[in-house]
Amino acid sequence: MGHAEPIRVLVTGAAGQIAYSLLYSIAKGDVFGKDQPIILVLLDITPMLPVLDGVVMELQDCALPLLREVIPTDKVEVGFKDLDAAILVGSMPRKEGMERKDLLKANVAIFKTQGEALEKYAKKTVKVLVVGNPANTNCLIASKSAPSIPKENFSCLTRLDHNRARSQVAIRVGVPSDSVKNVIIWGNHSSTQYPDVHHAIVNNHGKEMSGFDAVNDESWLKGDFITTVQQRGAAVIKARKLSSAMSAAKAICDHMRDIWFGTPDGEWVSMGIYSTGNSYGVPDDLMYSFPVMIKNKTWKVVDGLSINDFSRGKMDGTAAELVEERDTALTFLGA
C-alpha cells in the first residue's frame, strides 16, 4: 500500500480534553488503519484558536508518518470540506444551575449549524459520530439538518457505556475484558440507558457460558451493575474533578474502527443509530442505542433477541426520555 490517498478526518471541540486524548490515536493509525494517511482537521471556537495552535505543535512533534496535514480552524467551510469522517466532540457543556431545556436549546443551535455544514461541504459518504451531549438528540438534529446524507451515516457514542458494562462483568467474574462479549446498551446515552447482559457470553477460564451464569448474582446484574454503568460518568467527575476523557477517547476509537473495518464474527457492539422499523418496538425517528453488527462500513441491527419484561420496561423508559428530548429539540429547530 503506502500510496493510499489521504482521508480527511474532522474532530470538533479539538482544543478540549477528550480531543487531547483522541488525536494521537487517530494520527498514529489506530482507527483508520496502519497504512491510511490522514489529513486531520481541527475545529473549535475562535477563543480556543491559540490553544489549538499548541495542539498542532504537539501533533507535529509526534513525528507521525501517516499524518500528512493538520488544519486548525474556527470556520465551518474549512472544517467540513470534503470530509470522509467527522467526530463531533464539541458541544455546550452543562453549567451549574442550568436547566436541561436551555442546554438542549444551545446544542440544537450548534448541531443544526454543523448538520448544515455537513450538507453543504462534506462528502455524501461521510461517516459522522456525535459525542457531544446530549449525544443522541444532537445526532438526530445534525442528521435532520443534512437531508442528503443518508441517516445510516450518522451515529452517536454509546461505546463508552458498552465498554464500561463489559469491563464491570469481566472484573466481577475475574476474567480479562475480551473474555466478555455481546453486552448491549439500549437507548439514550444518559442515566436512563439500559445496560443489558441477558445475551452476553463469557469465556470463563476456557468455558463459554452466559453472562448471568458466569456472574451468578442476579440481584447485582439487575441492580448495582446497572446503576454503576449508568452513573459511571458522574463517578469519574466526582473523583477526578474532570470528565472521563481517556476512556471516552478510547471508545471513540473503538466505534470508528469498527465502522471502518467491521465487527468480529459473532460479535456485536452498541451504538446510537437511527431507529426505523426495528423488531424491538422502539419508536421511529430517534437516535437510539442498539446492538449492531458492521460489515462494509454498514451497520445492521441484531434482530430477534428475546426481550423479557424486565428488559422491556427499561427499554421503554429510555425511549420515553428520548421522545421527550426529541420533541423539545424539534420545537427549537422549528423556531
Residues annotated as binding site for NAD(+)?
Answer: 44, 107, 131-133
Angle at CA of residue 275, ends 90 and 318, nearest 5°? 75
Q: Name 301's bridge partners.
A: 292
Annotated binding site for substrate: 94, 100, 133, 164
Dist CA 176 CA 302 (whole Å): 25
Residues counted in the chain? 335
Dist CA 36 CA 29 (whole Å): 7
Q: Name 7's bridge partners.
A: 38
In a 13 Å sphere around the CA of 279, the CA atoms on its Cβ side amount to 10
205 is catalytic: no
φ, ψ for residue 163 (rounded to 5)? Answer: -65, -35
Dist CA 66 CA 202 (whole Å): 37
Cα 190 to Cα 136, 222, 322, distances in angstroms: 9, 18, 10
Annotated binding site: 44, 94, 100, 107, 131-133, 164
User: Which residues lie below 8 Å from residue 219, measured CB to CB, with a gap of 6+?
Assistant: none
Q: Which cell numbers hold the place of 226?
A: 446497572
- Which among 189, 198, 199, 205 is annotated as catalytic? 189
Instruction: Report the SS3 class of residue 184.
Output: strand
Q: Which residue has the cell 443489558?
A: 196
Q: Which cell numbers hold the place of 40?
A: 486531520
Query: 56, 97 in Cβ contact below 8 A?
Result: no
Q: What amino acid positions are annotated as catalytic residues?
A: 189
